Amino acid sequence: MIKGLNIIVTVKQVPDTTEVRIDPKTNTLIREGIPNIINPDDMNAVEAALALKELHGGTVTAVTMGPPQAEEALEEIIAMGADRGILLTDRAFAGSDTLVTAFTLSRAVMKIKNYDLILCGRQAIDGDTAQVGPQIASFLNLPQVTCAEEIKFENGKLVIKRSLEDCVEMVRLKLPALVTVTSAINEPRYAKLYNIEKACDGSMIGRWDVSDMKIPEPMLGLKGSPTIVKRIFEPKRNKKGEILHGSVKEMAGTLIQKLKDMNYKVINNKEG
């Protein structure tokens, strides 16, 4: 019987891509000054971990891979109630794709050693891949359940509700395991004021680099990544659109006529 659950949560600090603005003069993305947030699905994973800890006891460790400023994310998570945070940071990580990112996170998990469960957000709002969670599970040879909407711990196993497009599955899973969660699972709590001081004194945060985790060069950064980005572009969204004028009757009439002219069967032949 496991006494309490030792949970590791992987989190990522990301630019808030839902608040990206377009420069009206150039019609391109304004990428500077976008606020950093903790990836929304990861906040749900943290909340799920804290809720399990409250019910069953145990510990919650947050791990993040990023530049030095990602430490802010760990402070916030400790202020929410996590026991400690580990920042994986090293210039050599730059340009990592999901495979080598997952490898680095897996090495950190192996270094942490004692864990029962790894919780991850389903996907990050910048990369949008949903790959890192399953790739960590693969590296560590753990069973996984993705898209979890509910997690219960009963009789030493996890009982999880997971969502597919057409149905919901109730599954039971032996530990140790990795689970990814979606935003449907919970509402993340706010940081507690009395925890913030503890969080910000830095003593609950560890910092590990390449040599701390013994990551071999072939698995590092841009060079170690099997995928490469060949091109990034912004989709052209400016259609030479027409704004219809006139009274409501006139606009509606013009529109229907234009659709008729374009031969849209649904307009011309209602039985069609």
Partner 1 sequence: MISLTSEKCSGCGICARICLYGGVAVNNKTVTFNDRCTGCGACVEVCKSGAIALSGKKENIKNAVNGYSGIWVIAEQRGGHVQNVTRELLGKASELAKIRQCKVSAVILGNELNGATDELIKYGAERVYYTTADFLERYRTMPYERIICDLIKKEKPEVILFGATSIGRDLAPRLANRFRTGLTADCTELEITPEGELLQTRPAFGGNIRATISTPHHRPQMATVRPGVMKPDFSEIRKGEKIRIDVKRDESDDLVEILRIIKKEKAENNLESAEVIVSGGRGLGDGKKFRLLEDLAKSLSGEVGASRGAVELGWMPQSRQIGQTGKTVHPRIYIACGISGAVQHLTGMEDSDVIIAINKDPEAPIIKAAHFSLIGDLNNIIPELISMLNKA
Q: Which of residues 217-256 bind partner 1 (CB under 8 A)?
A: 217-219, 225-235, 237-239, 241-244, 248-249, 251-253, 255-256
Per the DSSP assignment, residues forming a β-bridge with 11 are: 64
Distance of closest approach, residue 30 Cβ to partner 1, in angstroms: 10
- C-alpha distances out from residue 82 to 34, 59, 73, Å: 27, 7, 12
Q: Are 131 and 98 in contact (CB under 8 A)?
A: yes
SS3 152: strand
Closest by CA to 12, choosing from 146, 104, 81, is 104
**Residue 231: CA atoms inside 13 Å, Cβ hemisphere, count?**
3
128 lines the binding site for partner 1 (CB under 8 A): yes
Distance of closest approach, residue 41 Cβ to partner 1, in angstroms: 11
- C-alpha distances out from residue 215 to 100, 141, 178, Å: 10, 18, 22
Total of chain residues touching partner 1, rule CB under 8 A: 88
Q: Which is nearer to partner 1, 60 or 120 (CB)?
A: 120
- 197 phi-psi bin (left φ>0, alpha ψ -120 to 50, beta other): alpha
261 lines the binding site for partner 1 (CB under 8 A): no
Q: Which is nearer to partner 1, 134 or 191 (CB)?
A: 134
Q: Are 155 and 69 in contact (CB under 8 A)?
A: no
Distance of closest approach, residue 85 Cβ to partner 1, in angstroms: 23
Distance of closest approach, residue 81 Cβ to partner 1, in angstroms: 27
- Alpha-carbon distance of 272 to 237, in angstroms, equals 32
Distance of closest approach, residue 9 Cβ to partner 1, in angstroms: 19
Contact with partner 1 (CB under 8 A) among 135, 181, 199, 206: 135
Of residues 142 through 181, those in contact with partner 1 by CB under 8 A are: 143-147, 159, 162-174, 177
- Read off the amino acid at residue 90: D
Of residues 70 through 109, those in contact with partner 1 by CB under 8 A are: 97-99, 102-103, 106-107
- Alpha-carbon distance of 259 to 71, in angstroms, equals 55
Of residues 9 through 68, those in contact with partner 1 by CB under 8 A are: 15, 17-18, 20, 22, 29
266 lines the binding site for partner 1 (CB under 8 A): yes
